């Protein structure tokens, strides 16, 4: 998985990244991997976690400050509620600030671009053999979103833990107040103390009711804010990371095209074998020609994708990360080699058809009976039509292969 060797001594090894086997396999096969690290949904979840964190560490102090303000204001209940709402407003501003800050961090850490030798985060390219220059960035993202690179996010666990912690804390203070109320030293025949205690319980109950309302209002607010921020962040990411998203998409499209060409090659091979066995009957000829036409369309589509990918890589900020000799080897394996196999199959089929045509022509010349010549001439017509169709497709396929060089 992911490990960092910390440089503790001057002569120690540099910090390196060990890539998970699944990602390494993808890099080995396609020589490129786009790792989707932080998502817009995680930004929303991190704000929800921070709201609970604020409630945990500032909720009770806010209640105490509100009671103190109420006492020194001459028991003015409006001061008590005003203090609470002022504190809630500060929470709102703080979380709004966090939303903007997290969105900015998301724009830089949503994707990690990786090749066999390099890694890019925040559009900074580093060697996999030494990531000292990006350790601070990795730590910032990992700490903020509780998700180390290549590891699962812990935000859901933190949110669940903080929710239980906040509720437990609120009701723990209830328990503390009632414990104090039951104290003999505090309540022994002291009606004023009992009255004050009832007031404190009432105020604390009001505070909990307010915070409960604030919580549910904030849940709704964060839901709406989260949806808005998710849409904005998604739109921004698609625009900001357009080139690398396009590169990743083209890699996958070429994989799909490769699989499609391989499948069509096997289908064509089966049809050609059947045609040789039953003298190139009309129905099979139509299927063969349709198969060849389909292969030609797939080949041209694949070539377009390859050229577009090469052009996109060359014009992107990640061009220095790519070793095009390895990329060309991958293209050869995925597209060029299957097309060459199909070309060889068509050339072999054409040669077989030419030999068949010669044999049928010879049979016609050697046959004196016109009735026996007729089926031979029909068969010759079919073979010559197929030769013509095959020879029409061979140059197109050759052009596709040459375009990949």
DSSP annotation string for 204-264: HHHHHHHHHHHHHHHHHHHHHHHHHHHHHHHHHHHHHTHHHHHHHHHHHHHHHHHHHHHHH
Could you tell me if residue 201 is inside a domain?
yes
- Residue 40, helix vs strand vs coil: helix
Q: Are residues 102 and 226 in the same domain?
A: yes
Cβ atoms 119, 16 nearer than 8 A: no
Cβ atoms 111, 241 nearer than 8 A: yes
Could you tell me if residue 220 is inside a domain?
yes
Q: Are residues 210 and 312 in the same domain?
A: no
279 pLDDT band (50/70/90 cuts)?
Answer: low
Q: At what angle do helices 282-314 and 242-277 cross, to 10 degrees?
A: 160
User: Distance between CA 236 and CA 21 in Å, rounded?
Assistant: 31
Dihedral of the alpha carbons of 346, 350, 356, 358, in degrees to the nearest 10: -170
- Least confident span in 276-280, 292-296, 327-331: 276-280
Domains contained in the chain, number: 2
Query: Whole-number mean pLDDT of the chain?
Result: 76
Q: Are residues 232 and 284 in the same domain?
A: no
Q: Write out pLDDT tens, residues 231-260.
A: 776 677 667 777 777 888 888 888 888 888
User: Distance between CA 278 and CA 191 in Å, rounded?
Assistant: 111
Higher pLDDT, 44 or 213: 44
Could you tell me if residue 1 is inside a domain?
no
Q: Are residues 167 and 283 in the same domain?
A: no
56 alpha-carbon distance from chain centroid = 33
Domain C-terminal end among 191, 216, 240: 240
**Backbone dihedral angles phi then psi of residue 126, each to the nearest 5 degrees:** -130, 155
Q: Are residues 176 and 311 in the same domain?
A: no
Higher pLDDT, 227 or 265: 265
61 pLDDT band (50/70/90 cuts)?
Answer: confident
Paired residues of 121 in beta bridges: 124
Task: Tell whether the model's pLDDT for residue 174 goes beyond 80.
Answer: no
Could you tell me if residue 7 is inside a domain?
no
pLDDT, position 1: 39
User: Distance between CA 356 and CA 361 in Å, rounded?
Assistant: 9
Q: Are residues 229 and 356 in the same domain?
A: no
Domain C-terminal end among 216, 240, 264: 240
Q: Are residues 251 and 220 in the same domain?
A: no
Q: Are residues 251 and 378 in the same domain?
A: yes
Task: Tell whether the model's pLDDT for residue 17 goes beyond 80.
Answer: no
DSSP annotation string for 1-39: --------STTSPPP--PPPHHHHHHHHHHS-EEEE---
Q: Which CATH number fits the domain that encloses residue 316?
A: 1.20.58
Greatest mean pLDDT range, 226-235, 272-281, 287-296, 373-382 = 287-296
Task: Tell whether the model's pLDDT for residue 185 goes beyond 60.
Answer: no
If you average pLDDT over residues 140-158, what whole number do you get? Answer: 84
Could you tell me if residue 364 is inside a domain?
yes
Task: Tell whether the model's pLDDT for residue 70 goes beyond 60.
Answer: yes
Percent over 70 (pLDDT), the chain = 79
Cβ atoms 350, 395 nearer than 8 A: no
Edge-to-edge strand order for the sheet containing 124-127?
33-36, 111-114, 118-121, 124-127
Q: Write out pLDDT tens, residues 102-111.
A: 877 877 777 8
pLDDT, position 181: 58
Q: Which two tokens stand for residue 158?
A: 């933190």
Burial environment of residue 261 by CB neighbours within 10 A (0 to 12, 13 to 18, 19 or more): buried
The DSSP bridge pattern shows strands 124-127 and 118-121 to be: antiparallel
Q: Are residues 216 and 292 in the same domain?
A: no
Could you tell me if residue 287 is inside a domain?
yes
Could you tell me if residue 2 is inside a domain?
no
Domain C-terminal end among 186, 219, 240: 240
pLDDT, position 180: 61
Q: Are residues 182 and 278 in the same domain?
A: no
User: Distance between CA 237 and CA 260 in Å, rounded?
Assistant: 31
Q: How many CA atoms lie within 13 A of 87 on its CB side?
A: 25
pLDDT, position 84: 77
- Least confident span in 68-82, 285-299, 304-318: 68-82
Higher pLDDT, 64 or 312: 312
Task: Tell whether the model's pLDDT for residue 230 goes beyond 70.
Answer: no
Task: Tell whether the model's pLDDT for residue 304 goes beyond 50.
Answer: yes
Could you tell me if residue 15 is inside a domain?
no
Task: Tell whether the model's pLDDT for residue 149 goes beyond 80.
Answer: yes
- The domain containing residue 253 runs over which residues? 243-403
pLDDT, position 44: 78
Q: Are residues 152 and 250 in the same domain?
A: no
Q: Are residues 280 and 386 in the same domain?
A: yes
pLDDT, position 197: 65
pLDDT, position 85: 79
């Amino acid at each position: 998985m992911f490990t960092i060797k910390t440089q503790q001594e001057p002569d120690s090894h540099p910090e390196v990244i060990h890539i998970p086997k699944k990602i390494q396999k993808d890099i080995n096969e396609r020589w490129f991997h786009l790792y989707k690290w932080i998502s817009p949904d995680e930004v929303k979840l991190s704000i929800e976690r921070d709201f609970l964190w604020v409630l945990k560490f500032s909720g009770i102090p806010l209640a105490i400050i509100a009671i103190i303000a109420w006492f020194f204001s001459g028991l003015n209940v409006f001061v008590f509620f005003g203090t609470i709402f002022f504190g809630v407003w500060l929470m709102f501003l703080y979380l709004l600030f966090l939303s903007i800050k997290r969105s900015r961090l998301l724009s830089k850490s949503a994707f990690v671009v990786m090749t066999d030798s390099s890694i890019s985060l925040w559009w900074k390219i580093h060697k996999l053999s030494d990531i000292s220059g990006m350790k601070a960035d990795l730590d910032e993202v990992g700490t903020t979103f509780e998700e180390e690179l290549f590891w699962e996010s812990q935000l859901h666990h933190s949110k669940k833990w903080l929710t239980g912690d906040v509720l437990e804390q609120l009701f723990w203070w209830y328990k503390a107040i009632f414990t104090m109320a039951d104290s003999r030293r505090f309540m022994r025949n002291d009606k004023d103390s009992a009255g004050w205690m009832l007031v404190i319980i009432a105020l604390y109950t009001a505070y909990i009711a307010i915070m409960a309302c604030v919580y549910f209002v904030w849940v709704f607010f964060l839901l709406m804010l989260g949806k808005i921020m998710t849409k904005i962040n998604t739109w921004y990411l698609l625009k900001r990371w357009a080139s690398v998203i396009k590169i990743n998409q083209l890699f996958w499209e070429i994989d799909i095209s490769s699989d499609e060409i391989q499948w069509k090659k096997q289908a064509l091979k089966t049809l050609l074998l059947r045609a040789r066995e039953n003298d190139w009957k009309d129905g099979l000829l139509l299927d063969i020609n349709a198969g060849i036409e389909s292969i030609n369309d797939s080949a041209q589509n694949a070539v377009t994708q390859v050229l577009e990918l090469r052009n996109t890589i060359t014009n992107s900020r990640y061009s220095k990360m790519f070793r095009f000799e390895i990329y060309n080897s991958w293209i050869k394996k995925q597209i060029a080699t299957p097309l060459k196999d199909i070309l060889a199959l068509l050339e072999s089929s054409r040669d077989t058809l030419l030999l068949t045509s010669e044999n049928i022509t010879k049979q016609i010349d050697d046959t004196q009976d016109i009735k026996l010549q007729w089926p031979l001439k029909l068969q010759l017509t079919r073979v010559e039509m197929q030769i013509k169709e095959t020879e029409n497709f061979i140059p197109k396929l050759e052009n596709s292969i040459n375009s990949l060089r």
